[in-house]
Structure 1
Amino acid sequence: MSTRTRTPALDDTQLAAAWQATSLLLDYPDERLLGRRPLLRRAAAALPAELAGPLGRFLDHVDATPLQELAADYVATFDHRKRCCLYLTYYTCGNTRKRGMALLRFKQVYQSAGLALGDDELPDHLAVVLEFAAAEPAAGARLLNEHRAGLELLRLALQESGSPWAAVLDTVSATLPRLDGDLREAVQRLAEQGPPEEEVGLAPYGPASGGPVFLPDPQLRPPSPPHVQGAHR
C-alpha cells in the first residue's frame, strides 16, 4: 500500500486553496467547471509541486475531454462503484443505523461554524466537506482526518481503476498528515472487509423539520451538485 506525506509548511491560505480546488473538481462536471479552469490553474500554480502537479494533470484531462464524456465517466466512477463512493460515512458506517448519527455530527459541525446545507444535500459528500474545510480549515481538517481511512481507500480504488480523479485525491491526501501504522492497518482492514452491512432506513437522517429522509444508496448521485452555502467568504 502506498502512503503519502503531507507537504511541509502548508499555511491555512494554501490549505484553503487546495481544498476549494479539489472540492470543485470532485463536483459533477458541467459548464461551470469549464468556466473555472483558468481560476483553478492559477490556484494550482500557487501551491507546492506535490499538490500542483496532480491538479495540473487532472485539468489537462479536463481540457482534452469533451464535457459529455467527462460527465459520463464521473457517473460511471462515482455512481456505480461502491469502492469509489464520495459519501464519507459510507466507509465508516456502511448502510447501518449508525450512519444517521455520523451524518448528524457533520451537520452539527457545519452549524457550529454558521454554515448551512441545502435541504436535498448530505453533509458527508467529499466535495461538501472539502468546501467546508476551505472556509474553516481547523474544523474541516478534523473531519477529513476522522475519515482518513475512507479517503485513502477511495484514493487507492481510483488509482487501481486508472481513474483521472485519482490525481484529485492525491492532492487531498497530500494536505493531510502522514499515515501512521494504526491508520495504515485501518485502511487495509477496510479494504479487506468493506464497510459494515445493514439495511438502511432503521435510523433515518432527516432535516431539522423532522421529516425522515432515508439514506441514499452510495451508487446514486444526489439530485443536485453538492454545495455548502456560505462557504465562499
Structure 2
Amino acid sequence: MAGLFKGSGSHGFKGSGSPGATSISRRDRVVLQASARLLDYPDAAWRERLPLVRSALESAGGAAARKLIAFLDQASSTPMVDACSHYVDVFDFKNRHSLYLTWWLDGDTRRRGASLVELKAVFRDAGFLFTEAELPDYLPVVLEFVAASGDRGLLLRHRPGLELLRLALAEHGTAYASVLEAVCSTLPGASPKDRAAARALASAGPPRETVGLDPDTAALRPYGHLDLLPILAPDR
C-alpha cells in the first residue's frame, strides 16, 4: 500500500503524488493510513511492514496511535499461521464483519454496483488513479484515499457502516475492534454506543461534506508514494 509510509507498493492506486485537501489533521491521516495497513491480510509482507507502521505511529502520538500500537504489539507476538487463521475467521465468513463499505449501505443488491461506480468517480474527480487491485469500497483502500487526500467525506458518508462494523467486531471479541475504534475516533462527535444508535446515523442521511477535491482546482494526480516527513510535521 502506498501513502504515508516509504518503501511500499500501491494498494489500489498507482503513480506518485502529494496530499491534496487537508480537512483532517496530519496525525489523523497517519492513524488512517496505519489502520489501512493493519486491516490487510497478515501475511509475511504485512509483518515486514510493521516496524515502519510502528515508527510512524510513535512519531504521530495520541490516543488513537497508542491504541494501534497496542494492536500491533499483539499481532507481532502472534504466530503468522494463527494470525492468518484468525483474520479469515473474522472477515471472510461473516457479512456483519464485512470490510466492503457498500455492503453496509446496499447489501447484496444491484444498487451496490452503482455505488462502486460512484466511488471510482470520487477517486477520479479527486485526481487519483484507481488500479482496481481491490474493489473501491474495500476499507483499507478508502482509508488510504482519505489519508492521501485529506478529505474524510467518504468516511462520513459510510460512518453508520463503520460504526456497525466496530460494534460487531467488539461483540466478536477480536482485537481488530481496536483498529475500527481508532478509525472512528478520527471522525467528529462521539461514536454510537450500540447498534440502534449506529443505525440512527443512517436515518439522518449523508453528511453535507464535500467528498473528493474539486476537479477544477486539482490536476490529475496519480496516487502513490508520499513523503512521510511532511505528514508527521506539526500542523501549521
TM-score if structure 2 supplies the norm length? 0.71
Residue among 95, 114, 117 paired with 1:82: 95
Residue among 103, 106, 117 paired with 2:116: 103
Q: What is the 5 A alignment of 1:18-33?
A: 18-33=31-46
- Residue in 2 that maps onto 1:156: 167
Contact 2:24 2:150 in 1 (8 A): no
Q: CA deviation at 1:11?
A: 5.2
Q: Whole-Å Cα distance in 2 between the matches of residues 154 and 110 of structure 1?
A: 23
Q: Secondary structure at the match of 1:117?
A: coil
Contact 2:32 2:144 in 1 (8 A): yes
| 1:109-160 CA-partner distances (Å, limit 9, x unpaired) | 111122222345210000000011111011xx10000000000000011111
Q: Whole-Å Cα distance in 1 between the matches of residues 196 and 62 of structure 2?
A: 28
Question: Residue type matched to 1:52 in 2?
Answer: A
Q: What is the 5 A alignment of 1:137-216?
A: 137-138=150-151, 141-179=152-190, 187-188=198-199
Q: Where does the alignment leave 5 or more consecutive residues of structure 2 unmatched?
A: 1-22, 203-221, 227-236
| 1:155-186 CA-partner distances (Å, limit 9, x unpaired) | 011111111111111110111111488x9856
Q: Single out whichever of 27-36 and 157-166 deviates more from structure 2.
A: 27-36
Q: Whole-Å Cα distance in 1 between the matches of residues 99 and 33 of structure 2?
A: 16
Structure 1: 4+ residue segments shifted above 4 A: 183-186
Q: Secondary structure at the match of 2:135?
A: coil
Contact 1:132 1:231 in 2 (8 A): no
Q: Whole-Å Cα distance in 2 between the matches of residues 76 and 188 of structure 1?
A: 25
Contact 2:136 2:142 in 1 (8 A): yes
- Residue in 1 that maps onto 2:78: 65
Question: Residue type matched to 1:187 in 2?
Answer: A
Contact 1:90 1:99 in 2 (8 A): yes
Q: Whole-Å Cα distance in 2 between the matches of residues 16 and 87 of structure 1?
A: 20
Q: Secondary structure at the match of 1:42?
A: helix
Q: Whole-Å Cα distance in 2 between the matches of residues 184 and 160 of structure 1?
A: 11
How big is the alpha-carbon RMSD for the aligned residues of Structure 1 and Structure 2?
2.5
Q: Secondary structure at the match of 1:70?
A: helix
Q: Secondary structure at the match of 1:46?
A: helix
Q: Whole-Å Cα distance in 1 between the matches of residues 29 and 201 of structure 2?
A: 29
- Residue in 2 that maps onto 1:226: none
Contact 1:134 1:231 in 2 (8 A): no
- Count of aligned residue pairs for this structure pair: 184
Contact 1:50 1:174 in 2 (8 A): no
TM-score if structure 1 supplies the norm length? 0.72
Q: What is the 5 A alignment of 1:113-152?
A: 113-138=126-151, 141-152=152-163
| 1:33-71 CA-partner distances (Å, limit 9, x unpaired) | 211122111122133432122101111111110111111
Q: Where does the alignment leave 5 or more consecutive residues of structure 1 unmatched?
A: 1-9, 192-228
